[in-house]
Amino acid sequence: MKAIVISAHGGPEVLAVTELPDPVPADGEVLVRVKAFGLNHAEAYMRSGAWGPVAAVPGIECAGLVEADPSGELPVGTRVVAILGGMGRTRNGSYAELVTVPATHVVAVESGLSWADLAAVPEVYATAHSALHGNLALRPGETLLVRGATSSLGQAAVNLAVRHGADVLATTRNPDHGPLLKDLGAVDVLIDDGNLAAEVGRRGLVVDALLDIVGNSVLRDSLAAVRPRGRVCQVGFLGGFAPVADFDPMADLPGAVGLSFFGSAFVLGTPAFPLADVPLEAICAEVEAGVLKGRPTRVFSFGEIVEAHRVMEAGQALGKMVVVVD
């Protein structure tokens, strides 16, 4: 099969198209013929070496057809999406024509979306749904602040929260991106200069819940931006991996604010967080109907993977990008 491998840790140029033996599914696995896969910052971290030793073939999600299922549960040719399950980390991932995935991480979907459109949905929408409804227990009518809202995960979170009936505040570092976030349904857009709590206070806003995709570099400020007994859930590290220096819960968790972290790569699909709890088929239907704006902003071919990673790292995507397997 044709696959994209990490030839050495480094920049986008280390990704190389090569030939590998076709994988064979073991018991409890499904072999998927990949039609398209989404691009994620996690794959850039793996490629660069920031996450230590990883599998040769990156890719944490895909859309495709069942090629083989030893259990017989999924017939050959079933349209599916596959998410995580160690793909790209502990096992070869979805940047390939074929991939084996734990059966717990494969979901059958009846959808009229194109392969490119379908591949844009699984990871960001499953993560956003889990964090909003699990960690944050977001309720209709509450005010949610999405920090890092122009990212693909941020846009999915804005989409889902607005659909759920929340009032969504969205942040961006670039004022030019305000109209994009307003079009997703954000009631207001805040320009994030790293001192968001002061801006929230200046405007007299009351934030019930905050989804933080920027991460450690702004965590103290995020905690200060929500009301007493508010909730903060961190789901990303767009601001870098450096730890929060000298974090002191007594000083840094004001007003009994609740703080949680949702690491989709490590928990989604496990018994405690089954994919059956995520309404992926319903989400795909709403993307197809245009209710959710989840279609990719840019589609690349398999041979354009280096350029795709360059665009992702430059922050030029403004949404989800996908690769179609030729």
- Band (pLDDT 50/70/90 cuts) for residue 238 is confident
Helix, strand, coil distribution of the chain in percent, nearest 5: 35, 25, 40
CATH topology for 2-120+295-324? Quinone Oxidoreductase; Chain A, domain 1 (3.90.180)
pLDDT beyond 90 at 250: no
The pLDDT score that the predictor gives to residue 286 is 97
Three-class secondary structure of residue 152 per DSSP: helix
Cβ proximity of 91 and 55 under 8 Å: yes
Q: Is the pTM higher than 0.85?
A: yes
What is the distance between the alpha carbons of residues 212 and 306, in angstroms, rounded to a whole number?
A: 28
Half-sphere exposure of 144 (CA within 13 A, CB side): 32
What is the distance between the alpha carbons of residues 284 and 126, in angstroms, rounded to a whole number?
A: 11
The pLDDT score that the predictor gives to residue 17 is 97
Type of residue at 33? R
Tell me where in the chain the CATH 3.90.180.10 domain(s) lie: 2-120+295-324
Q: pLDDT per residue over 195-206, tens digit each?
A: 999 999 999 999
- Band (pLDDT 50/70/90 cuts) for residue 326 is confident
Q: Bridge partners of 230? A: none
The pLDDT score that the predictor gives to residue 68 is 98
- Measured CA to CA in angstroms, residue 212 lies from 58, 173, 236, 238 at distances of 25, 14, 7, 9
Q: List, in order, residues 6 or more apart from 288 with CB less than 8 Å away.
A: 111, 112, 113, 117
Q: pLDDT per residue over 45-83, tens digit each?
A: 999 999 899 999 999 999 999 999 999 999 999 999 999
pLDDT beyond 90 at 315: no
The pLDDT score that the predictor gives to residue 253 is 84
Tell me where in the chain the CATH 3.40.50.720 domain(s) lie: 124-265
Mean pLDDT rounded to a whole number for the chain: 96
- Band (pLDDT 50/70/90 cuts) for residue 240 is confident
Share of the chain above pLDDT 90, in %: 90
The pLDDT score that the predictor gives to residue 16 is 97
Which CATH number is associated with domain 124-265?
3.40.50.720
